[in-house]
Amino acid sequence: MTDAPTETPEATLQRLRASIDNIDAALVYLLAERFRATQQVGELKARYAMPASDPGREEQQVARLRALAEAAHLDPEFAEKWFNFVVAEVIRHHVAAGAEENERP
């Protein structure tokens, strides 16, 4: 006796896509939360004339995220590219916050 499939390939595809959609939504909300935190960091850095970028911290984070990616069976190069993309946007925000702080009387 063989087990008959319980769903059609189309139903399986639909189910998998729904899962992907849920994950994408969670990622968007997590990124929004991350940017709220980095906005606070940017404001703090601007207030105290700290540099917008911290290369030492970024290097530590790259190493940490590459290790996490490997443990999760995700391409570490992809994880690093993602991190660099996000950090570039964060630094852009920090630079803008610093410029706004410098314009205040």
| Nearest Cα to Cα of residue 94 among 69, 60, 62, 57 | 57
pLDDT tens per residue across span 17-51: 999 999 999 999 999 999 999 999 999 998 999 99
- Within 10 A of 52 (CB to CB), how many other CB atoms are there? 18
Percentage of the chain surpassing pLDDT 90? 79
DSSP secondary structure string, the chain? --PPPSS-HHHHHHHHHHHHHHHHHHHHHHHHHHHHHHHHHHHHHHHTT--S--HHHHHHHHHHHHHHHHHTT--HHHHHHHHHHHHHHHHHHHHHHHHHHHH--
- Tell me, what's the pLDDT at 37? 96
Q: What is the CATH number of domain 9-103?
A: 1.20.59.10
Q: What are the residues whose beta carbons fall under 8 Å from the beta carbon of 80, sequence distance 6 or more? A: 62, 65, 66, 69
Domain boundaries, the chain: 9-103
The pLDDT-based confidence of 95 (bands split at 50, 70, 90) is: confident
Distance CA 40, CA 1 (A): 62
Phi-psi domain of 49 (left: phi exceeds 0; alpha: psi -120 through 50; beta: other): left
The pLDDT-based confidence of 89 (bands split at 50, 70, 90) is: very high
